[in-house]
């Protein structure tokens, strides 16, 4: 009997939230209503759509991020919206990755991309930050560039001398919102492939599309 009671004691004292999580899905953005529809918040908008599609709520504050655990395509994931502001996104994602012992290749990042037109996406297996401060922070905290990412087009700078900060913190024009939301609707399909190790299929299926 003592052995059974000891087993129950161990089960009761174990962390019920960490078991089974094998991947992180994190969308990048800035917290605050004033940033909701800015270019830099494309990642947050994707997470909002993912939550709506799968009937989950990303509202538990943990790791300085809004989080929830969910099962997507048969894979247990932690969904995240870091609340650190864009340039420090790696603080939240690095803490979660360390806690769950998730390797970089299982950390999927969704971010904006100013090299792509609105209505396009690009999936990459790994790579440099490419001047994106949120990705730069994640690379620093994971100590690796080897994490997959879904990059959402938010429009190219109107001119080479345009101010980048003003551009990414500006709102996507109303006439392009349909294109943006059209490509966001494609994100779950790409994610399901990536979560099941089919990143090449995801790249082939989604990198060339336009909405």
Catalytic residues: 40
3-state percent helix, strand, coil for the chain, nearest multiple of 5: 45, 20, 35
3-class SS of residue 149: strand
**What DSSP character marks residue 14?**
S
* 208-to-55, 96, 125 alpha-carbon distances in Å: 29, 32, 16
How many CB atoms lie under 10 A from the CB of residue 49?
17
Q: Do 153 and 119 meet the contact criterion of CB atoms below 8 Å apart?
A: yes
CB-side exposure of 127: number of CA atoms within 13 Å? 14
* 207-to-113, 186, 202 alpha-carbon distances in Å: 13, 11, 8
∠ Cα 23 199 130 (to 5°): 85
């Amino acid at each position: 009997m003592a052995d059974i009671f000891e087993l129950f004691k161990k089960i009761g004292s174990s962390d019920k939230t960490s078991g089974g999580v094998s991947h992180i899905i994190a969308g990048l953005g800035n917290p605050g209503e004033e940033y909701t529809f800015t270019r830099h918040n494309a990642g947050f908008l994707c997470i909002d759509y993912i939550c709506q599609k799968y009937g989950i709520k990303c509202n538990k504050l943990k790791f300085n991020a809004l989080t929830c655990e969910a099962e997507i395509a048969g894979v247990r994931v932690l969904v995240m919206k870091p609340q650190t502001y864009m340039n420090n996104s790696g603080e939240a994602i690095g803490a979660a990755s360390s806690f769950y012992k998730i390797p970089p290749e299982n950390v999927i990042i969704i971010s904006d991309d100013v090299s792509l037109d609105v209505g396009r996406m690009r999936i990459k297996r790994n790579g440099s930050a490419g001047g994106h401060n949120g990705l730069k922070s994640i690379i620093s905290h994971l100590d690796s560039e080897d994490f997959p990412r879904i990059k959402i087009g938010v429009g190219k700078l109107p001119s080479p001398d345009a101010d980048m900060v003003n551009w990414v913190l500006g709102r996507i024009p109303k006439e392009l919102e349909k294109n943006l939301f059209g490509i966001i609707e494609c994100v779950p399909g790409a994610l399901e492939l990536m979560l099941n190790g089919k990143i090449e299929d995801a790249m082939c299926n989604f990198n060339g599309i336009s909405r």
